[in-house]
């Protein structure tokens, strides 16, 4: 997101405001000047996309997670070797003012997803790729960064504002690394381009806002927010401004280069400063640009979004909780200790999920896992606790009942408005005197085993609790996701026995980077891609449930690289379809075979595929009871 066309305009028309720099040299100069360890603030999602495209990973396989984690660790270490401390800040929420832009992007991306499926259905090979990132990695990457030894944070308001403000307020920060032209407008530390970042030399392009303003726009740096609001950004949208900008052009093509000189002259002739304290000026701008004063509030909002000398108020928890709980919700979110969904749910009664790599062959994952989410809502809001009367007005639509606004991108959902979803109660809960524990008791008072019991009740999976409780932490998310896909969802079973066996077997491989890299690119089909997406959406759902329950296991054990690799899954599934054998799936290693039988028994317990009931010998030719 950012200012439409600004970076292209600078690169093509403002050579002195766009220059190559060395991050190592910038850091050395900053250290010499301020005698501090130089800090580079990195826009997390921008870095994530660039990092994933850097390697040979093919995201349609579901993610080569271990390889990605090792690559991330390598580059974090490289930053430290040149004396730079990287700090990553991730988008942690979608602000209401940018919801329309978010929705428009999701719809465009989902159309692209369907084209991807058509492409690899035709070529039936792994060379086709989304060019993006694997399902749910955007929600998990901050935890991978922390595991890699760097600081990572999640914003509780708009991330670009949080990053710009953080950089401006900390003298050890020398620059921001991102790909969002809003950082040219913010009056903060220098902005370095992620798009032009060279992962070998650690050189990139710096966009110089002072040079741009004074030399090329002939405006003051303080007028850049006004310039942004008049060319189009995430709040004052370009489509609204197009008639005005067209009137400034010499041609019928509304490109920045065609109107920027006239626009800047117009600003100077009107003596507009972009002072948000002058409502009279806001009305004048609206009248001149839109023909009425009706949009004065929008201009004001756009300008305020760049004002680093004030705070964007962070949403408060919208149910009655103690000050300790309020503080904990914000701290766990900022420090990446909870699934990012929890903050939006407790503070805004919202749930947001971007598009995933799925076609129309089954119900969308967002719908398939909805009932589990609804039971999370039931626990988070204790099914009957009403919101504060002054917080989130309009959020209760039938008496005091809780309603969650779900913004889920999937085929057929136009997202003109959210889907309104009610919490669901838990069945047969035997914790805390047969009642749903209040969220504060669940987070602060119950033991890990009691929290795990609530987790199990929310899932409503066929797996017996005692088997779940005895699992190693690294296998809990895997086992519960597979149990859900077998018998815990309304549309069950959603996964075939051979596919269950492959998921179990690949989790037990002693994965080594070199071995995974040397695996041949597997044959690719839509069904296997959908399976990986279904599984990873399950992982994300498990993360939400575990965070709801106060994290009965440490967050690190939720990370997919501990039990899943997309390329390995596709490789083993292709082999198993030709030669369905336990020994082949387990690399003919007796110890792995033994673990396979043990884990498969847990995963399928009490389900239609229970190893004591189902004819597994018809699935895997060498299967032994």
**Confidence at residue 430, expressed as pLDDT on a 0 to 100 scale:** 55
- Averaged pLDDT score across all residues of the chain: 89
CA 299 to chain centre: 29
Q: Are 174 and 325 in contact (CB under 8 A)?
A: no
User: Using N-to-C axis directions, what is the helix angle for 526-548 and 370-380, rounded to 10°?
Assistant: 10
**Confidence at residue 482, expressed as pLDDT on a 0 to 100 scale:** 98
Whether the per-residue pLDDT at 62 is higher than 60: the answer is yes
Residue-wise pLDDT tens digits, 298-338: 999 999 999 998 877 888 999 889 999 999 999 999 999 99
Phi, psi at 427, each rounded to 5°: -105, 140
Assign 60 a pLDDT band (cuts: 50, 70, 90). Answer: confident
**Confidence at residue 126, expressed as pLDDT on a 0 to 100 scale:** 44
**Confidence at residue 384, expressed as pLDDT on a 0 to 100 scale:** 44
User: Using N-to-C axis directions, what is the helix angle for 137-147 and 65-81, rounded to 10°?
Assistant: 50
122/465 Cα distance (integer angstroms): 44
Residue-wise pLDDT tens digits, 193-209: 999 999 999 999 999 99
434: alpha, beta or left, given left = phi > 0 and alpha = psi -120 to 50? left
In 3D space, the residue among 449, 386, 455, 321 whose CA is nearest the CA of residue 329 turns out to be 321
Assign 130 a pLDDT band (cuts: 50, 70, 90). Answer: very low
Residue-wise pLDDT tens digits, 544-577: 999 999 999 999 999 999 999 999 999 999 999 9
Better-predicted residue by pLDDT, 540 or 311:
540
Exposed/middle/buried for 514, CB within 10 Å: 0-12, 13-18, 19+? exposed
Percent of the chain with pLDDT over 90: 68
Residues 6+ apart with CB under 8 A from 608: 486, 487, 493, 614
Instruction: Outline where DSSP puts E strands in 91-169.
Output: 151-154
Better-predicted residue by pLDDT, 391 or 166:
166
Phi, psi at 94, each rounded to 5°: -110, 120
**Confidence at residue 51, expressed as pLDDT on a 0 to 100 scale:** 78
> Position of tokens 């959902």?
413
Residue-wise pLDDT tens digits, 424-481: 988 766 554 556 788 999 999 999 999 999 999 999 999 999 999 999 999 999 999 9
- Which CB contacts under 8 angstroms, 24+ apart, belong to 289-295? 289/230, 289/241, 289/244, 290/240, 290/244, 295/236, 295/240
In 3D space, the residue among 436, 438, 435, 493 whose CA is nearest the CA of residue 461 turns out to be 493
Residue-wise pLDDT tens digits, 387-408: 443 344 445 444 357 899 999 9
Query: What is 379-434 written as a DSSP string?
Result: HHTTTTPPBPSSSSTT---STT---EEEEE--TT---SSPEEE-----SS--STTT
Assign 41 a pLDDT band (cuts: 50, 70, 90). Answer: very high
- Rounded to an integer, the average pLDDT of 341-347 is 95
Percent of the chain with pLDDT over 70: 92
The widest CA-to-CA distance across the chain, in whole angstroms, is 86
**Confidence at residue 387, expressed as pLDDT on a 0 to 100 scale:** 43
**Confidence at residue 391, expressed as pLDDT on a 0 to 100 scale:** 43
Whether the per-residue pLDDT at 288 is higher than 90: the answer is yes
**Confidence at residue 389, expressed as pLDDT on a 0 to 100 scale:** 36
In 3D space, the residue among 85, 78, 79 whose CA is nearest the CA of residue 37 turns out to be 85
The tokens describing 296, both together, are 């004065």
**Confidence at residue 1, expressed as pLDDT on a 0 to 100 scale:** 61
Residue 589 vs residues 478, 508, 517, 565: alpha-carbon distances, Å: 21, 11, 21, 19
Residue 402 vs residues 236, 366, 380, 394, 439: alpha-carbon distances, Å: 33, 20, 11, 11, 15
Q: Are 543 and 558 in contact (CB under 8 A)?
A: yes
Whether the per-residue pLDDT at 598 is higher than 60: the answer is yes
Whether the per-residue pLDDT at 123 is higher than 80: the answer is no
Model-level pTM? Answer: 0.89
Better-predicted residue by pLDDT, 406 or 113:
406
- Rounded to an integer, the average pLDDT of 124-128 is 47
């Amino acid at each position: 997101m950012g200012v439409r066309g600004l970076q292209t305009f600078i690169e093509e028309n403002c050579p002195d405001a766009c220059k190559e720099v060395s991050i190592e040299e910038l850091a050395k100069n900053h250290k010499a000047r301020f005698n501090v360890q130089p800090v580079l603030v990195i826009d997390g999602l921008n870095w994530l996309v660039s990092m994933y495209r850097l390697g040979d990973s093919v995201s349609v396989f579901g993610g080569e997670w271990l390889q990605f984690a090792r690559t991330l660790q390598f580059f974090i270490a490289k930053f430290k070797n040149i004396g730079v401390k990287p700090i990553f800040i991730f988008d942690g929420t979608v602000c209401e003012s940018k919801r329309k832009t978010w929705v428009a992007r999701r719809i465009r991306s989902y159309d692209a997803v369907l084209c991807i499926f058509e492409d690899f259905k035709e070529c039936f090979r792994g060379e086709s790729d989304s060019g993006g990132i694997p399902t749910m990695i955007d929600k998990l990457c901050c935890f991978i960064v922390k595991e890699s030894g760097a600081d990572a944070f999640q914003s509780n308001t708009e991330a670009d504002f949080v990053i710009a403000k953080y950089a401006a307020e900390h003298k050890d920060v020398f620059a921001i690394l991102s790909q969002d032209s809003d950082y040219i407008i913010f009056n903060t530390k220098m902005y370095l381009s992620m798009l032009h970042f060279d992962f070998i030399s650690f050189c990139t392009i710096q966009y110089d806002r002072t040079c741009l303003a004074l030399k090329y726009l002939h405006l003051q740096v303080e007028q850049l927010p006004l310039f942004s609001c008049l060319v189009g950004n995430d709040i004052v949208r370009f489509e609204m401004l197009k008639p005005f900008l067209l009137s400034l052009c010499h041609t019928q093509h509304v490109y920045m280069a065609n109107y920027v000189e006239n626009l800047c002259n117009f600003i100077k002739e009107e003596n507009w400063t972009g002072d948000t304290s002058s409502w009279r000026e806001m009305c004048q701008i609206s009248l001149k640009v839109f023909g009425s004063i009706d949009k004065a509030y929008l201009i004001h909002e756009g300008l305020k979004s760049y004002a680093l000398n004030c705070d964007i108020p962070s949403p408060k928890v919208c149910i009655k909780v103690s000050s300790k709980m309020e503080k904990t919700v914000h701290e766990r979110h900022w420090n990446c200790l909870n699934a990012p969904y929890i903050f939006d749910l407790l503070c805004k009664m919202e749930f947001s999920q971007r598009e995933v790599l799925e076609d129309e062959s089954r119900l969308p994952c967002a719908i398939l896992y909805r009932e589990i989410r609804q039971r999370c809502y039931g626990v988070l809001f204790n099914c009957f606790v009403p919101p504060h009367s002054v917080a989130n007005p309009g959020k209760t639509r039938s008496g005091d009942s809780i309603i969650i606004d779900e913004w889920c991108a999937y085929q057929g959902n136009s997202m003109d408005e959210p889907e309104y979803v009610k919490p669901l109660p838990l069945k047969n809960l035997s914790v805390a005197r047969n009642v749903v524990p209040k969220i504060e008791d669940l987070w602060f008072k119950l033991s890990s085993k009691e929290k795990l019991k609530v987790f199990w009740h929310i899932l409503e999976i066929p797996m017996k609790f005692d088997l779940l409780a005895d699992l190693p932490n690294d296998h809990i998310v895997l086992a519960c996701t597979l149990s859900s896909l077998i018998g815990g969802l309304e549309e069950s079973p959603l996964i075939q026995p051979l596919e269950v066996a492959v998921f179990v077997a690949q989790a037990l491989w002693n994965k080594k980077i070199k071995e995974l890299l040397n695996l041949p690119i597997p044959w690719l089909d839509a069904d296997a891609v959908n399976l990986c997406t279904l599984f990873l959406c399950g992982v994300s759902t498990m993360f939400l449930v575990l965070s709801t329950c106060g994290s009965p296991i440490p967050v690190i054990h939720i990370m997919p690289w501990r039990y899943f690799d997309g390329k390995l899954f596709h490789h083993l599934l292709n082999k198993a379809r030709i030669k369905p054998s336990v020994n082949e799936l387990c690399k003919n290693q007796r110890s792995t075979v033994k673990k396979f039988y043990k884990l498969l028994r847990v995963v399928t317990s009490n389900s239609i595929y229970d190893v004591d009931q189902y004819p597994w010998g018809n699935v895997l030719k060498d299967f032994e009871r």
